[in-house]
Amino acid sequence: MTDPRPKFKREPATQRKDALIESALALISEQGVTGATVRAIAKRADVTQGLIRHYFSTKEELISAAYERHMNQMTELTAAPAAQDGISATSRLVTFITAGLTSPVMDTRSVTLWASFISSIRTDAAMRQMHQQTYYDFRNRLEILIRDALLESAPHTPPCPKNLRQMAIACNAVIDGLWMEGGALPETFDTDELAQIGLKSVGAIIGLPLLDQTLTSTPTHTQTPKGQL
Amino acid sequence: MTDPRPKFKREPATQRKDALIESALALISEQGVTGATVRAIAKRADVTQGLIRHYFSTKEELISAAYERHMNQMTELTAAPAAQDGISATSRLVTFITAGLTSPVMDTRSVTLWASFISSIRTDAAMRQMHQQTYYDFRNRLEILIRDALLESAPHTPPCPKNLRQMAIACNAVIDGLWMEGGALPETFDTDELAQIGLKSVGAIIGLPLLDQTLTSTPTHTQTPKGQL
DNA sequence: AAAGTAATTATGCAAGCGTATAATTACCCG
DNA sequence: CGGGTAATTATACGCTTGCATAATTACTTT
């Protein structure tokens, strides 16, 4: 009289961790941090709550892992389209900015998620370090793209490191600011409006006409990345 | 045998509300939203928890009021130094940007507070509307300053509204982005570095050399506003 | 096929949460 | 000075939370 149907299935550790992280992200984006309780996360992942403690020694650890996942995903979604070779350095920069300011990187879900995490960087050391690392990573990628674009347009007058750093900080700020408002108030901006503003602004800051080039020569680079999420 | 010392004091309604709002802000900035419990807020304001329900019909209402207070305070602290008359329109714009990117507007407390609130604009309609209103208010002030500065430098070629709007959106984004990172990672930027980057960037976006003017002609306008908080 | 083991479930607990309601108490007014 | 009333305190309730611990159960190994 053995039950033919097992009551549960044993999954590989990484897969279960993944499912739990995704559940946490989904809940946080839908209901905020307060909605992401241990029980709710477990239910969404179709397991019982005890299992969470089996893979994460504390809830904070799970949340921290979810934060890392989300930020890396966003950086990846922004940088990947710009990594194609065979296009000019300026085009790579344009693609990077455009990807960061269009769906799926710029949308309500992503921004809400980020906002939920960012509020805990003051009290939680692990979160603060994660933020710093993610921020530097993104900014460094941007700085490299800016440098290459500048070198391409003026090969014999390389930008000084201090200026380059400041440009990267400024351009990162524009992108972040636009990204945030685009996610927070999506209905108040036209499609691609923020991406175009981003191109214009970064172009003005680094002294290269990014928008014109895009619209005239290689418009395909400004398309939104195919949904990988 | 009457006790000469009363057990509590009756305060005016607005004053008590104020104290409760300030307590909430202090707690949220120090411990995040989860730390701002009804009991903790009451204790910090030196009252018992029941009093909160007497002035706010729900905790959400108190949090919403705290959000409004904080945002208005920050806008005020940014705009007030720029409201002095007798200085050029460009100087007013410079002062606005500088105030927004130096203490006390740009600091960890302010940014953390903002982040804590912003995470709930998706789930809470009142918070979302408050965010929208605050954002528009700030951006409109900025747009007016930009317009005046442009008119001042080129009185016979007024900027078209569409361009002006985009400039305001872009400049607002730079300021927001810089402000955020300055508050999140204060130790990684030199004093006034972000303010200078902000001036440079806004100058580049709108096509006016803001930084040079500041450093040469009217440096007093770039001082941080006297602490009103 | 039986045993061992690690994944998973089941159950419980102490603490804290927001809210409701009733009991006090300070202050205003006649 | 003595009521009346609104501000304030006091107490309690039901619910949820994160976490711990013990009981099951599926899969591997021999």
Q: What is the pLDDT along chain A (229 residues), one digit of tens a residue?
A: 445 678 999 999 999 999 999 999 999 999 999 999 999 999 999 999 999 999 999 999 999 999 999 999 999 999 999 999 899 999 999 999 999 999 999 999 999 999 999 989 999 999 999 999 999 999 999 999 999 999 999 999 999 999 999 999 999 999 999 999 999 999 999 999 999 999 999 999 999 999 864 444 333 433 444 333 3
How many angstroms is C1' of C30 away from CA of B5?
26
Q: For residue range B49-79, list pLDDT tens digits in order.
A: 999 999 999 999 999 999 999 999 999 999 9
Q: For residue B5, what pLDDT is reported? A: 79
Q: For residue B213, what pLDDT is reported? A: 47
Query: What residues approach strand D to within 7 A at the CB?
Result: A 3, 6-10, 36-40, 49-50, 53, 58-60; B 7-11, 13, 16, 46-51, 54
> How far is the C-alpha of A95 from the C-alpha of A97, rounded, in Å?
5
Contact A119 B33 (CB under 8 A): yes
Model confidence at B4, pLDDT cuts 50, 70, 90, reads: low
Tell me how crowded residue B158 is: count the other CB atoms within 10 A of its CB.
11
DSSP class of residue B49 equals: T
